[in-house]
A = this chain, B = another copy of it.
Amino acid sequence: MGISAVNSGEQVDRQTRILEAAMDLLSRHGISGVSMRAVAREAGVALGLVNYYYDDKTTLIRAALRRVDEHDLLLVAPDHSVAPDEQLRRALRRVAGADLLTTRYLSLRLHLWALAQADEDYAQINAAAFDRYIDGLAALVSSANPGLPWEACRERASDIVVIQNGMWLTALLGVDKASIQRSIARTEQIAFAPAEGPRADENGGRPELTQP
């Protein structure tokens, strides 16, 4: 089963070349642009090799999806070499980092979301990764605000994720960078809000929203 090891060091092995070609095409042209032939051409290999490493087209896409999910999870991975609140602050600012806010990555994410929406199989992988992301973020919030109950941490994490998703999406549509910066500040405000109290901080002193 296991695919062979190091390939002379110079260039990456063809299996990951194929996967990266698929991700590149997906981010640039959407799923309609990802045909097995196009992937093979982009990766510089023969058509048959794509099906050799990835049985199906769905297997290939699934691999891409998992890879991006994995990458996303790293954003909220705990890093014990820095203080908890600095750790959280860094994680929050990372999502506006130059490497993430590239069209290539954002577009890839968008297309994967769209795929997950259309296909039950992808949807499950996606939902699981989403949950783990919120959990990771909540854990960071928890260590930065010791004493805050876990449910409150998850609540904050959910609220932050809403804004982060909005930033990702809106960055793709070309909103101004200043708005992104303000949104980052808003996530920090949520993350570091004082314990609980009368919630005046969250609602700005206005009347509560009545459930419709």
Contacts and interface: CB of A to CB of B under 8 A. Distances in A.
Nearest to A204: B189
Interface stretch (A40-48, A108-116, A140-148): A108-116
Interface SS, A side? helix
Interface stretch (A15-23, A28-36, A65-73): A28-36
Nearest to A26: B118
Nearest to A175: B158
B170 A162 contact: yes
A82 to B, nearest CB: 16
Given A126-B173, A162-B179, A166-B167, A107 B117 contact: yes
Interface in A101-152: 103, 107, 110-111, 113-115, 117-119, 126-127, 130
A56 to B, nearest CB: 14
Contacts of A201: 204
Given A111-B114, A127-B174, A192-B204, A185 B165 contact: no
A203 interface: yes
Interface residues of A, number: 61
9 contacts: A31-B31, A97-B212, A98-B212, A126-B173, A158-B175, A158-B176, A159-B182, A185-B202, A188-B204
Closest 6 CB pairs of A and B: A166-B166, A30-B118, A114-B114, A158-B179, A189-B204, A162-B166
Given A185-B209, A188-B204, 10 more contacts: A31-B31, A93-B209, A98-B212, A107-B118, A161-B166, A163-B163, A163-B183, A165-B170, A185-B202, A186-B202
